[in-house]
Amino acid sequence: MFQLKNELIIWLLVILIVGAFSTQLLAAEKIVINEMMFSGAAQEVLIEQAKRFMEENPDIEVNITWVDYASLHEKMMTELVGGTGRYDVMAAITDFMPEFIGGGYLEPLDSLIEKDPPEGWPDDFPDSLLRYQKDTDGKIYGLPWWDGPVMFYYRKDLFENPQEKENFQKEYGYELNPPMTWKEFLDIAQFFTRDTDQNGTVDFYGAVQGARQGGQNLVYDVLLMLFTNGIEILDENFKPVFNTEAGAEAIQFYADLMNKYKVSPQASTTYDVPESGDFFLNGNCAMHWNWAHIAGFAEDPEKSKIVGNCGYSLMPKGENGSNKSLISYWTYAIPKASKNKEATYKYIKFITSKEMDKLMVEYYGQPVRLSTWNDPGFVEKYPFFPWIAKTHEDIGVVPQVPEFTQINDVLQIAASKVIAQQTDAKTALDEAAQMIEQIMREQGYYD
């Protein structure tokens, strides 16, 4: 009996050891996909998408490293240039893609797409969301995941208020409507900037800007001010062409909204995308422009105090410009050094699927598929969807050169000098143009 008991114990130990060993083998066989991603508004939906992917693919584990936007480009470049293979997938904003593609750091996805195309490929994606992740030969290096574009927002309840409309008509001589020009924008911004509690301090503004130096937003505001005034950054020979009198007037106007006209809070110089968006969503101003996710946030009672009162329109334009906006969207790309390309493609194909694109909407993310944009249920619930599609019809082209991150820095510094009133806009843009021309010359674009 004693011997039998010992034998049972021994067998149990053997079973436990073998089981533990088998578990280790299974764990060792599991494919681990390491991802680098921007820490921001997209975190919540991506966590859910990755969770659902792992539930459907228990043999694959996804580990996400979150990086703040200011450090994202540097950290990505360190990994890509070093060829470490530490990351299998990167969520890269399209501003980075010319540099990543031109450096040969990414895996072209054409053969993977041909073998196992995403749902509705490519017809379910607008052309505007497939252009910035291609090389000159048309090879594609990323699938679109999170859309822009920059949209114009206004307080519908204020613009439709009969008393406000009557007062504006009396003061400015025309009807109060969403501004189609920057002149109209300034009139409306000045009209709504006021001291509501009569304590001698402005506590409601016409607008708010995300003008923080080094943030994500400032360079896009510079581009928008130029684009809407009919001004490009580089010509066909890659020479800077933005430092004209009209360009200087556009950037000076942007700074004057804070400094001269004071229709935007001075704190705008400390605001980036989230802070300026929150200022508008908290009901502190009448107008705002920001990325399209603000439209979703505006209808969420947990994020917004203006639910049901957010209106949508096109960007205002200058005298010789158009109501042009811009996009800069997030794509999923596979580093060439990844050791798990097949599994990684399976992952990005999943998180950009029709089902996951619709899931974006539940988390106030910005879907990239036409089938989502045109879904009747979503359009009824989220009236801004048609405005996203309309905004895509007239898009300014961000310079598609590997040097854009350097151009970005130069333009931001120039704008910041004007905002800080350290120099006039023409001088700042002339200096910026010289610096950008030198950058392009050193890279061999011209002698």
Q: How confident is the model at residue 138 (pLDDT cuts 50, 70, 90)?
A: very high
DSSP lists the bridge partners of residue 31 as: 60
Average pLDDT over the chain, rounded to whole?
A: 91
Taking the C-alpha atoms of residue 266 and residue 279, their distance in angstroms, rounded to an integer, is 12
Taking the C-alpha atoms of residue 381 and residue 365, their distance in angstroms, rounded to an integer, is 14
Q: How confident is the model at residue 69 (pLDDT cuts 50, 70, 90)?
A: confident
pLDDT digits (tens, 9 = 90+) for 266-309: 999 999 999 999 999 999 999 999 999 899 899 889 999 999 99
Backbone angles phi, psi at 426, to 5 degrees: -65, -45
Alpha helices in 193-303 (DSSP H): 218-227, 245-259, 273-281, 293-298
At residue 100, does pLDDT exceed 50? yes
Q: What would the mean pLDDT of 129-134 be, rounded to a whole number?
A: 93
Q: How confident is the model at residue 13 (pLDDT cuts 50, 70, 90)?
A: very low
Report the chain's terminal Cα–Cα distance, integer Å.
Answer: 95
Helix, strand, or coil here: 240?
strand
> For 274, how many CA atoms within 13 A lie in the half-sphere containing its CB?
8
**8-state DSSP, 120:** T
- pTM of the complete model: 0.84
What the block records as the tokens of 7 is 């034998």
Domains of the chain: 29-141+330-367 (3.40.190.10), 150-327+398-442 (3.40.190.10)
Q: What is the model's pLDDT at position 379?
A: 87
Higher pLDDT, 172 or 384: 172
DSSP lists the bridge partners of residue 33 as: 62
At residue 19, does pLDDT exceed 60? no
User: Token match 């209808």: residue?
Assistant: 299
Q: What is the model's pLDDT at position 315?
A: 97
Percent of the chain's residues with pLDDT above 90: 78
Q: What is the model's pLDDT at position 23?
A: 43
Question: How do beta strands 325-326 and 205-207 pair?
Answer: unpaired
At residue 310, does pLDDT exceed 90? yes
Q: What is the model's pLDDT at position 366?
A: 87
Contacts of 243 (CB under 8 A, 6+ apart): 426, 429, 430, 432, 433
What the block records as the tokens of 98 is 């010319």
Percent of the chain's residues with pLDDT above 70: 94
